[in-house]
Chains A and B, each alone.
Chain A
Amino acid sequence: MAEEEHVQEPVEAEVVPSEDDSGRISEPEPAVSKRIGSIQFSIFSPKMIKKMSAAKVVTPELYDKEGYPVDGGLMDIRLGVIDPGLKCKTCGSKLKECPGHFGYIELARPVIHIKFVNLVQNLLMSTCRSCGRVLIPENKINKARAELDAIEKEAGVEARRAHVSKIISSMKTVNKCPHCKAKQYKISLEKPTTFLENEKRINPIEVRVRLEKIPDEDVFLFGMNPKFIRPEWMVLTVMSIPPVTMRPSITLESGERSEDDLTHKLGDIVRINQRLFENINAGAPEIIIEDLWDLLQYHITTFFDNAVAQLPPARHRSGQPLKTITERIKSKEGRIRHNLAGKRTNFSARTVISPDPMISLNEVGVPKIIAMKLSVPERVNEWNITYLKKFVENGPDKYPGANYIIRPDGKKKKITDETKEASLEEIQPGYTVERHLLDGDIAIFNRQPSLHRMSMMCHRLKVLPGRTLRLNPAVCHPYNADFDGDEMNLHIPQTEEARTEAEILMEVQTQLISPRYGLSVIGCIQDAISGNYILTSKLEFSREEAFDLLYSAGITDFSKLSRKERISGREVFSALLPEDFNFTGHSKSKNEKGSDDVVITNGKLIEGVMDKNNLGEGSGLLLRNIHKKYGKEFAVKLIGNIFRLGIEVLLRYGFSTAISDTDLPSEAKEKIQDVLDTAERDVDGLIAQFRENKLETFPGKTQAETLELKILELLNKSRNRAGELVAEYANKNSHTMIMAVSGARGNLINLAQMAACVGQQALRGKRIEKGFYQRTLSCFKRGDLTPSAKGFISHGFKNGLTPSEFFFGAMTGRDSLMDTALRTPKSGYLYRRLANAMQDLKVEYDYTVRDASGKIVQFQYGEDGIDVSKSEKGTINVKRIIKSMM
């Protein structure tokens, strides 16, 4: 396809005085700029192909005996040069200067272009076989044109073409031309490229003749401008040969040459074309010519697209399919998504991550080896020259050193032990030193998949020993990271502007409040929650202990602690809060009186405990209110402090989990057994009813379905009852319970599964049915409908499962594993489509949501006009605002 550019008036160029090496301001150079006014896509005509060609290719040979490109071959030096030393015969320039030039081959017989078969088919079916006119009566053409124009405007040119045949079939002119009254026959396409008329083959020559007959004014009807696209050009008579620069050959170490896939394919085309010529000239039988013709069609088709459904892909000798033009452009590994949309960066690092709760939330721990490989350019001036010289002196092998110096003319010089002295001498204001990373440098930290903006945040660097990147476990949530082998990327911005931008827009504290639900995405997790829960619910310290605890959590201001001998955990926690902070909320857990109120007055935790509801990520308003009242810097600091405090408490208190956590008194055990026994008896009763056909069926269900539903409900109920009993009787002070109650990890169901009963295993929402004929496992009788034969696990993990129960557990386990493995790519693609569809939607200043062309999508953003990131969970709490204003 050719592009025609209509170059418009040059846009006024901004003339900036440029600074030369000496720092003096020289005369401004007038810049020339042009803007593309429009782009016209069209199809090359044979005439055009010849006109723009530098050479005609006539022989499949590539090189002669000396290894010099053959004239008229595919590597002809008129098509461009890929050898150093050779000069292009067309433009006279050398390697890398010559952009390459197109050539052409004259095809012995015309061939259909695979990318246009559908269009050609459409044209053949919609036009007369003898006069070439569209099969629409003269008096209706104008009306049809208006209709088609409207469709094109709405649904595009493809829809327009599809509609032409729709109009024709509605006019009943399919069988007889309304212009010349010639009889029409049925045209069909035998994929990929053979056209049939009344089941008889019409060859490309005939196809081309028919397309030629279509008059220009009818071509317009198909949404094509005949000036740029004549239908017959879709049948190739000459073929353009891409320049060698587009298909460079590689010289292997052995001196052997390896040609590009495209060159291979072109060689095939030229060879077959040559043979076809010879056979035609020698007057060979028609069958042989037809065979060669088909072969030529195959080669040309696969040259354009090697993944046509009905054709076997052309392959290398090794058996791997050739990558031809379409494959080069298309899909994820193609030019667009791989090379154009997916650029690679320098100054980046990637390794395994591990946690370090002792670094601050907005820091990232970087191994020394990485800090010595990556660098930050720093401009030398008279104030920092001694500071920078120190790095140069240390060189590249001693931290903190420097790897390169850059002269004012842009020349980069590596610092080595030999050049160190000279560099040190040379350095003066105007130079740039690429020094090693230092603590406090700006870095952008990222974990894929980067699904939201919190997946890339700006951190402060901290150089640490070891070989992993370190992050504070509290920021795991926004990155969705864990430490089971996850790797993350680190980027070092190289200019002052980039660093500033990263700092202002991307630093961790700026990302605290999620734009999705308006609460903090960063909070305490796991140990930190358990620790704070224990601290605020049951601990009491001596003054010394309290001081020690706070100090180790990084607090040095003890003025908030009271003068009492014994200091409660709540008071210790309150020491972190600002004096004028007031808050009322609810905790996840309830105290003995059944209350879950949390009250903070004047920076003192008066009532309630701290747990997941208030400290956790993405929940509760405590962190949200702190952020709103005291700002992002304070909020991040506070989260860090609370986190550290929680960990330090656990360290002192001692925290573990034990099998004895799941111990139950014998009274509870009996009760649970009783519940399960009753359930089993009830199910047996249901089954008996079912066998006697006495079961009352639910509307729209069969007897068997009703039975299943009833059993499922019954078993679920009794499992829940067992769970309640466990929660009632289990030791409230056991660590497993503390974790479940505070929301740090696990829940009561997990506990019940360990202590009492695992419950029903389900596949696709039903009891397990898979396995053998009418039974799940061979140890059961056929048609056995009892709970145990259908995947009900009546034992707890602690007491152990029976073999069949264990097997059922493995079945559902495997099923859920498969489910996650299959769901991840599916949802990834779903997200990609969503993101691509919505990428240019924007909230305008009048709160409307519009796309790039200004069309309205929503009249009021989110229909309520609320900026979620400035709200609390999507709503504005007017009461709280009024209260705070009073």
Chain B
Amino acid sequence: MAKQTFDIKNHLLVPKHTKVSDKEKKLILEKYSLSVFDLPLIKKNDPAIKDLDLKPGDVVKIVRKSATAGESIFYRSVINV
């Protein structure tokens, strides 16, 4: 297979993934009264977050385009493969 020559994070269908700081993470979990792994999950080696250098228990913030709200925010917590 040919080597991947483009960065999928620049693709228009891949929403923006960013790491959430510990402080913010605490706030989010408090807001929804959840423990970390009750959030939707994302694998550590997911192509969209591969380069973010995350460890299990980290939370990723995803800003998606939405047909109804323009932009919508999702949180997912990182798990091992």
The yes or no answer to A237 lying at the interface (CB within 8 A) is no
The yes or no answer to B40 lying at the interface (CB within 8 A) is yes
> Which residue of A846, A854, A866 contacts B38 across the interface (Cβ within 8 Å)?
A854
- Residue interface bits A864-881, CB-to-B below 8 A is 1, else 0: 111000000010000000
> Which residue of B40, B68, B72 contacts A866 across the interface (Cβ within 8 Å)?
B68
A783 to B64, CA, bound (A): 53
Residues on the A chain within 8 Å of B73, using CB = 859-860
Which B30-47 residues have C-beta < 8 A from chain A? Answer: 31-32, 34, 38-40
Which B53-81 residues have C-beta < 8 A from chain A? Answer: 64, 66-69, 72-75
Given contacts A846-B32, A848-B32, contact A859 B68 (CB under 8 A): no
Residues on the B chain within 8 Å of A250, using CB = none
Which A739-774 residues have C-beta < 8 A from chain B? Answer: none
A550 to B37, CA, bound (A): 66
> Which residue of A859, A864, A865, A866 contacts B74 across the interface (Cβ within 8 Å)?
A859
Inter-chain contact A855/B72, CB cutoff 8 Å: no
Interface residues in chain A, defined as those with a beta carbon under 8 Å from any beta carbon in chain B:
846, 848, 854-857, 859-860, 862-866, 874
Inter-chain contact A860/B38, CB cutoff 8 Å: no
Inter-chain contact A856/B39, CB cutoff 8 Å: yes
Residues on the A chain within 8 Å of B64, using CB = 863
Listed from nearest, the 9 A-B pairs whose CB atoms lie closest are A864-B69, A863-B72, A863-B66, A864-B68, A863-B69, A863-B68, A862-B68, A859-B74, A856-B40
Inter-chain contact B72/A856, CB cutoff 8 Å: no
A19 to B65, CA, bound (A): 62
A863 to B72, CA, bound (A): 6
Residues on the A chain within 8 Å of B32, using CB = 846, 848, 856, 859
Inter-chain contact B34/A864, CB cutoff 8 Å: no
> Which residue of A846, A856, A860 contacts B69 across the interface (Cβ within 8 Å)?
A860
Inter-chain contact A859/B66, CB cutoff 8 Å: no
A860 to B66, CA, bound (A): 12
A84 to B72, CA, bound (A): 68
Residues on the B chain within 8 Å of A874, using CB = 68
From A848, which residue of chain B is reached at the shortest CB distance? Answer: B32
Would you give the shortest CB distance from B17 to chain A, in whole angstroms?
A: 15
Would you give the shortest CB distance from A859 to chain B, in whole angstroms?
A: 6
A856 to B34, CA, bound (A): 9
A848 to B75, CA, bound (A): 12
Inter-chain contact B68/A856, CB cutoff 8 Å: no
A863 to B73, CA, bound (A): 8
Given contacts A848-B32, A864-B66, contact A859 B38 (CB under 8 A): no
Residues on the B chain within 8 Å of A857, using CB = 40
Q: List 14 A-B contacts (CB under 8 A).
A: A846-B31, A846-B32, A854-B34, A854-B38, A855-B38, A856-B39, A859-B73, A860-B72, A860-B73, A862-B68, A863-B64, A863-B66, A863-B67, A864-B68
Would you give the shortest CB distance from B13 to chain A, in whole angstroms?
A: 17
Residues on the B chain within 8 Å of A848, using CB = 32
From B75, which residue of chain A is reached at the shortest CB distance? Answer: A859
Residues on the B chain within 8 Å of A855, using CB = 38, 40
A854 to B73, CA, bound (A): 19
A866 to B70, CA, bound (A): 13
A848 to B29, CA, bound (A): 13
From B33, which residue of chain A is reached at the shortest CB distance? Answer: A846
Residues on the A chain within 8 Å of B68, using CB = 862-864, 866, 874
A354 to B24, CA, bound (A): 62
Would you give the shortest CB distance from A157 to chain B, in whole angstroms?
A: 20
A521 to B32, CA, bound (A): 35
Inter-chain contact A859/B34, CB cutoff 8 Å: no
> Which residue of A846, A854, A864 contacts B72 across the interface (Cβ within 8 Å)?
A864
A859 to B28, CA, bound (A): 11
Would you give the shortest CB distance from A876 to chain B, in whole angstroms?
A: 11
Beyond contacts A859-B75, A863-B64, A863-B68: 9 other A-B pairs, Cβ-Cβ < 8 A, are A855-B40, A856-B34, A856-B38, A856-B39, A857-B40, A859-B72, A859-B73, A864-B72, A865-B69
A854 to B32, CA, bound (A): 10
A863 to B74, CA, bound (A): 9
From B71, which residue of chain A is reached at the shortest CB distance? Answer: A863
Would you give the shortest CB distance from A873 to chain B, in whole angstroms?
A: 12
Residues on the A chain within 8 Å of B31, using CB = 846
A14 to B16, CA, bound (A): 54
Residues on the B chain within 8 Å of A860, using CB = 69, 72-73
From B73, which residue of chain A is reached at the shortest CB distance? Answer: A859
A848 to B38, CA, bound (A): 13
Residues on the A chain within 8 Å of B74, using CB = 859
A223 to B3, CA, bound (A): 40
Residues on the B chain within 8 Å of A859, using CB = 32, 72-75
Would you give the shortest CB distance from B39 to chain A, in whole angstroms?
A: 6
From B66, which residue of chain A is reached at the shortest CB distance? Answer: A863
A424 to B38, CA, bound (A): 66
A855 to B38, CA, bound (A): 6
Residues on the B chain within 8 Å of A862, using CB = 68-69
From A866, which residue of chain B is reached at the shortest CB distance? Answer: B68
Would you give the shortest CB distance from A489 to chain B, in whole angstroms?
A: 36
Would you give the shortest CB distance from B33 to chain A, in whole angstroms?
A: 8
Would you give the shortest CB distance from B48 to chain A, in whole angstroms?
A: 18
A327 to B34, CA, bound (A): 43
Would you give the shortest CB distance from B18 to chain A, in whole angstroms?
A: 15
A866 to B34, CA, bound (A): 23
Would you give the shortest CB distance from B31 to chain A, in whole angstroms?
A: 8
A603 to B73, CA, bound (A): 44
A566 to B19, CA, bound (A): 74
A32 to B75, CA, bound (A): 46
Would you give the shortest CB distance from B10 to chain A, in whole angstroms?
A: 24
Would you give the shortest CB distance from B63 to chain A, in whole angstroms?
A: 11
A319 to B72, CA, bound (A): 61
From B39, which residue of chain A is reached at the shortest CB distance? Answer: A856
A874 to B69, CA, bound (A): 11
Residues on the B chain within 8 Å of A854, using CB = 34, 38
Would you give the shortest CB distance from B77 to chain A, in whole angstroms?
A: 11
Would you give the shortest CB distance from A163 to chain B, in whole angstroms?
A: 13
Residues on the A chain within 8 Å of B66, using CB = 863-864
From A874, which residue of chain B is reached at the shortest CB distance? Answer: B68
A874 to B74, CA, bound (A): 21
Most chain B CB neighbours (cut-off 10 Å) among A848, A854, A859, A866:
A859
Would you give the shortest CB distance from A139 to chain B, in whole angstroms?
A: 22
From A862, which residue of chain B is reached at the shortest CB distance? Answer: B68
Residues on the B chain within 8 Å of A864, using CB = 66, 68-69, 72
Most chain A CB neighbours (cut-off 10 Å) among B39, B67, B68, B73:
B68
Would you give the shortest CB distance from A845 to chain B, in whole angstroms?
A: 11
Most chain B CB neighbours (cut-off 10 Å) among A848, A857, A864:
A864
A694 to B31, CA, bound (A): 69
Would you give the shortest CB distance from B6 to chain A, in whole angstroms?
A: 23
Most chain B CB neighbours (cut-off 10 Å) among A856, A862, A865:
A856
From A846, which residue of chain B is reached at the shortest CB distance? Answer: B32
A552 to B34, CA, bound (A): 62
A65 to B72, CA, bound (A): 79
Would you give the shortest CB distance from B27 to chain A, in whole angstroms?
A: 13
A848 to B74, CA, bound (A): 11
A874 to B66, CA, bound (A): 14
Residues on the A chain within 8 Å of B34, using CB = 854, 856
Residues on the A chain within 8 Å of B38, using CB = 854-856
From A875, which residue of chain B is reached at the shortest CB distance? Answer: B68
Residues on the A chain within 8 Å of B40, using CB = 855-857
Would you give the shortest CB distance from A844 to chain B, in whole angstroms?
A: 9
From B69, which residue of chain A is reached at the shortest CB distance? Answer: A864
Would you give the shortest CB distance from B49 to chain A, in whole angstroms?
A: 18
A860 to B73, CA, bound (A): 8
A857 to B40, CA, bound (A): 7
Most chain B CB neighbours (cut-off 10 Å) among A846, A855, A866:
A855
Would you give the shortest CB distance from B29 to chain A, in whole angstroms?
A: 11
A613 to B31, CA, bound (A): 44
A855 to B33, CA, bound (A): 11
A859 to B34, CA, bound (A): 12
A861 to B57, CA, bound (A): 25
A865 to B75, CA, bound (A): 16
